[in-house]
Structure 1
Amino acid sequence: MRKWLPLTAVSLGAFMLLVDVTIVTVALPDMATGLHTTFTDLQWVLDIYALALAALLLGAGSLADRFGRRRVYLGGLLLFAAASLACGLADGAGQLILFRGLQGVGGAAMFATTMALLSTTYQGRDRGVAFGVWGAVNGAAAAAGPIVGGLLTEHFGWRWIFFINLPISVLAVAVTLRSVRESRNPQARGLDLPGLVTFTVAAGALTFALIRGTENGWTSATTLGLFGLSAVSLLAFLLVELRSSRPMLDLKLLRNRTFTGVLIGGLLLSGAAFSYLVYTSLWLQSVRGLGPVAAGLAMLPMSATAFLTSALAGRRLHGASPRWTIGGGLLLIGGGALLLALIGPGSSWPVLLPGLAVTGVGVGLATPAMAAAAMSAVPQALGGMAGGAMNTARQLGNALGIAVLGAVFQAGLLRELRAGLGAAGDARQVTDALTGGQAGAVIAQTGDGRRAVVEQLVHAAFATGLRDTFLVSAGLGLAGGLAVLLLVRRAAQPERVAGPGSPAPALADA
């Protein structure tokens, strides 16, 4: 029916931008081989996209409220399509990272406007149906990413994970132009540019320091300088937001324990549940010899159980306290990571299944309640800001998680290789080769007399690196669960919403 065409347009964009968070995961080993990339490059291909989403979501929402949500959504679609084409044509790691960043900019413009477009288009029961379908599409995107990426990479080449966005973008633009009407917020006050810049610098410098720390040295001037820049930029962001008449994030929201707890939960959920998948995919393909499709299928238990649990939780646990759904979900994510940490040198893909399944249940339990809990904990007038902050926290958690777990994974590899190689080889050089997806080449280039020993060492090194990574992920999940259980009580229900010129309402400390 014609009335569902706007939902179709919005869902197409949301599906694309969320699939692109995970579709790259199983393609990274092929990218590493085709572009001769380093481990750092692989991390940035993922991280730059998540960072752009995290840094620009709130700013893009402000621009959309002022200049038109349909206009910003269409601009995001066009930029996303152009950047996808450029990613597919990239002939070097630097170009690919740059264009992935532009993809993230387009994705932020799309993601920041989808909920507002649905809210202004549908009313009553239709609005509930629209948001239900939109939520299901978001879940399906996460589930489909590794599978679609594996199919395209194995049968057409890794470049097609980007080219596939072009026909979808064309269709989304056509449906949007035909069916979506323009909407604005007449009270929108413009863009908080100082806040946007300081937040972006703080997040980017911290991520860069974490990614380069192992290579440059954690006590090097470069690493310490980046950490310092991040800290100074974060302080500047807080000062800007306190003094701004149009803050990107109203810091008074953080006085609310429920809102703060949910925000911490969202940040740690993404880091604990998803950030290790890139290193797991590297192990599955370069060490265990699985193809991209098989590697994507090996990760399916998490996506499938998350999707099913989310659907069941939405129907059965609608009135449950977010303290238990979010906190319990995070504890399950931590428990799933502990099961994954049972990996050993002789393990193959079946060792992942129990841990991924438990993690998926945790994700499906926690995720649906997060946005609603964040928005219901604050005055209605600030609900859009709260939802944007929640999405920002989740994308930032993914970006920082990839960087932190990458450092842990690389350190574990290096430690095991140094113990095994001793003075007989350059552990750093071998680590770089292994993290670049060249495990097979490292083993094949070894003389016959030592090949079996080197093969065992490679398996042991990957097992150590992944075990350390899973243990840190477990710590993040368990810490997030405890924070939510301690801070979240019930959603705040302010009795009054401040109007223009009125004093801001006190935020209930639930």
Structure 2
Amino acid sequence: MSTSTAFESDAKFGKAALIVTGCLTAAVIPLSIAGPAVVVPSINQALGGSAVELTWIINAYILTYGSATLAAGSLADTYGRKRVWLSGMLLFAVITAAIPFMPSVFWIDILRLIQGLGAAAAFAGAMAALTQEFDGHARTRAFSLIGTTFGAGAAFGPFMAGLLIDTLGWQWVFFLPALVALLASALIAPFARETRDPGATGLDWPGAISFTAGLAVLTYGIILAPERGWHHAWVLACLAGALMLLAAFVVIERRQAKPMLDLSLFANARFVGVQVLAIAPAYAYIVLLVMLPARFIGVEGYSALAAGQMMIALSAPLLVVPFVAGVLARWINVGVLSGIGLVIAAAGLAWLGLTLSGGAQSARLLAMLVIGIGIGLPWGLMDGLAVSVVPKERAGMAAGIFNAVRLAGDGMAIAAVGAMMSANILSGLVVCVPDGASGQMTNADLVEASNRLAMSDLHNALAHWPAVGRSLLLQAYEGAFRFQLLVLAGAAAATAILVLVLLGRVRRHD
């Protein structure tokens, strides 16, 4: 074998190993969203915890991950993509492995906040590093594969969590991602190449702090609303503070010679369209990873494993459809494909809303399958689009803003859905419960019961309000759940129209 041939072979092996490492990174991120959604009832049984504390097991991770991703992308461009990728992955591994040893739900919530920071650094660093290694068709294939792997983590997260809970215990829902993260860390060191933006002048600290804090405070305010109410002074203060911080971020970035986020990009319809597309999976898919397993376990009485098996109908298409979308993108515009996918997802959400409460198991599984097929069309195309809207040397910034929008969208969608569910259930209980029964409860009990039902925790909701009875609680719950799915269907349809308008003429290799 000639020297040049051996060099080419080594280079191909190195790039293949790098893609595998990127896929491992992409797999553990959604696994840490979908898995804990199934494990919350087991943690509640083992450690107790209030409705608010248990909700934060999901929300804490998403809050910090979504808020810190943009700053992490800028750090990667400035100080080294490999360094940020490896540091984030190691932090993620250590914190994730420590979660099962915490003595209370409160401490699990704290570690989930730190875990989200590690995930933000790892994923932003990985996307920025991989962008430097691939171009054209190769980049599209690499990012489609990573998008599919991200989908696989989401697809099998609930099933894997259910299997682990029923066989090894709920602690392994955290031990397994920690082991995968350690494996990814071991591969990053020898195979990733250190790169950075040669024109970087240092991190834009005022911009990073104002944006991260603004997004975190906004998400926190939305998460707090079901507990305190939208008119509570603390909730209003959070929302007002978030608007002030984000306005300050805009002012800061406009004055920076080398901004963390080039605001002029928002004059580009394609860039705006990519950000709109980034939000779509939040309410067309991600919220279902939290809502449906909780319903199957807490209301319908299925085991964690059975709930995970049913979730495969929703998520299995993400293992196949993104590859199909990558092939179709040779002939059909990416924006058109994405818009069609969101229309299909909207139809599936509406169908699920109308059939979920019925007795036909096959109908709701088919509806979940339709949703998965619909969201799978844009799923494998989004990451490649995100890094193609700016020059290669600013890829970390592009990956950062895209993932910040996507993950902030996930966090706010989950929080908003929880707030809407709780509010609708509360209204339903006030309307349908007899006056004698409602008079036996304090406002705090009523809010706690509504929050428990919004989490699909029927057992503890009934314990807080035993005078009402199971049937009336279910009546309020089912009405709120059906309405929520129809709202999500409308949001997906509206987003499809926006994507078609903004990205309808974009081809894969523009």
When the two structures are superposed, what TM-score results if normalisation uses the length of structure 2? 0.88
TM-superposed CA distance for 1:292, in Å, is 0.9
Which of 469, 487, 491 matches 1:476?
A: 491
Task: Find the residue that maps to 2:99 and give its secondary structure.
Answer: helix
Please tell me whether residue 194 in structure 1 is matched to residue 206 in structure 2: yes
Are the aligned partners of 1:29 and 1:437 in contact in 2 as well (CA < 8 Å)?
Answer: no
Instruction: For 2:344 and 2:405, locate their aligned partners in 1 and report how far apart those are by CA, in whole Å.
Output: 20
TM-superposed CA distance for 1:362, in Å, is 1.6
Instruction: For 2:102 and 2:293, locate their aligned partners in 1 and report how far apart those are by CA, in whole Å.
Output: 22
Quickly say closer, same or farther: Cα 1:161–1:244, change in 2 above 3 A. same
Deviations 1:330-353 (A, max 9, x none): 222222221121146555754532
Aligned twin of 1:424: 437
TM-superposed CA distance for 1:139, in Å, is 2.6
Aligned twin of 1:273: 285
TM-superposed CA distance for 1:211, in Å, is 2.0
Quickly say closer, same or farther: Cα 1:350–1:277, change in 2 above 3 A. farther
Aligned twin of 1:505: none
Are the aligned partners of 1:19 and 1:142 in contact in 2 as well (CA < 8 Å)?
Answer: yes
Please tell me whether residue 27 in structure 1 is matched to residue 39 in structure 2: yes
Aligned twin of 2:27: 15
Q: CA RMSD in A?
A: 2.8
Which of 322, 326, 335 matches 2:334?
A: 322
Task: Find the residue that maps to 1:185 and give its secondary structure.
Answer: coil
What letter corresponds to residue 484 of structure 1 in structure 2?
Answer: V
Aligned twin of 2:154: 142
Aligned twin of 1:461: 476
* Structure 1: runs of 5+ lacking an equivalent: 496-510
Task: Find the residue that maps to 2:320 and give its secondary structure.
Answer: helix
Are the aligned partners of 1:298 and 1:349 in contact in 2 as well (CA < 8 Å)?
Answer: no
Quickly say closer, same or farther: Cα 1:340–1:124, change in 2 above 3 A. closer
Please tell me whether residue 101 in structure 1 is matched to residue 113 in structure 2: yes
What letter corresponds to residue 473 of structure 1 in structure 2?
Answer: L
What letter corresponds to residue 421 of structure 2 in structure 1?
Answer: F
After superposition, where does 1:313-392 map in structure 2 within 5 Å? 313-343=325-355, 347=359, 350-378=362-390, 382-392=394-404
Aligned twin of 1:67: 79
What letter corresponds to residue 308 of structure 1 in structure 2?
Answer: V
What letter corresponds to residue 23 of structure 2 in structure 1?
Answer: S
Are the aligned partners of 2:348 and 2:367 in contact in 1 as well (CA < 8 Å)?
Answer: yes
Are the aligned partners of 2:226 and 2:451 in contact in 1 as well (CA < 8 Å)?
Answer: no
Which of 172, 176, 185 matches 1:173?
A: 185
Are the aligned partners of 1:6 and 1:121 in contact in 2 as well (CA < 8 Å)?
Answer: no
Deviations 1:90-136 (A, max 9, x none): 22222111111111111111101213333445678876664454333
When the two structures are superposed, what TM-score results if normalisation uses the length of structure 1? 0.88
TM-superposed CA distance for 1:167, in Å, is 2.7
TM-superposed CA distance for 1:168, in Å, is 2.3
Aligned twin of 1:501: none
Which of 364, 384, 409 matches 1:397?
A: 409
After superposition, where does 1:244-323 map in structure 2 within 5 Å? 244-323=256-335
What letter corresponds to residue 395 of structure 1 in structure 2?
Answer: L
Quickly say closer, same or farther: Cα 1:124–1:270, change in 2 above 3 A. closer
TM-superposed CA distance for 1:489, in Å, is 4.0
Quickly say closer, same or farther: Cα 1:310–1:70, change in 2 above 3 A. same
TM-superposed CA distance for 1:48, in Å, is 2.2
Aligned twin of 1:434: 453
More deviation, 45-54/128-137: 128-137
What letter corresponds to residue 468 of structure 1 in structure 2?
Answer: F
Quickly say closer, same or farther: Cα 1:233–1:469, change in 2 above 3 A. same
What letter corresponds to residue 493 of structure 2 in structure 1?
Answer: L
* Structure 2: runs of 5+ lacking an equivalent: 1-9
What letter corresponds to residue 172 of structure 2 in structure 1?
Answer: W
Are the aligned partners of 1:84 and 1:165 in contact in 2 as well (CA < 8 Å)?
Answer: yes
TM-superposed CA distance for 1:436, in Å, is 5.7
Task: Find the residue that maps to 1:318 and give its secondary structure.
Answer: coil
Aligned twin of 1:113: 125
Instruction: For 2:407 and 2:464, locate their aligned partners in 1 and report how far apart those are by CA, in whole Å.
Output: 40
Please tell me whether residue 486 in structure 1 is matched to residue 486 in structure 2: no
More deviation, 217-226/170-179: 170-179
Are the aligned partners of 1:196 and 1:248 in contact in 2 as well (CA < 8 Å)?
Answer: yes
Instruction: For 2:355 and 2:477, locate their aligned partners in 1 and report how far apart those are by CA, in whole Å.
Output: 10
Deviations 1:348-406 (A, max 9, x none): 75453233212111211122232333444455554543333222211111000001100
Count of aligned pairs: 491
More deviation, 232-241/263-272: 263-272
Quickly say closer, same or farther: Cα 1:435–1:135, change in 2 above 3 A. closer
What letter corresponds to residue 252 of structure 1 in structure 2?
Answer: S
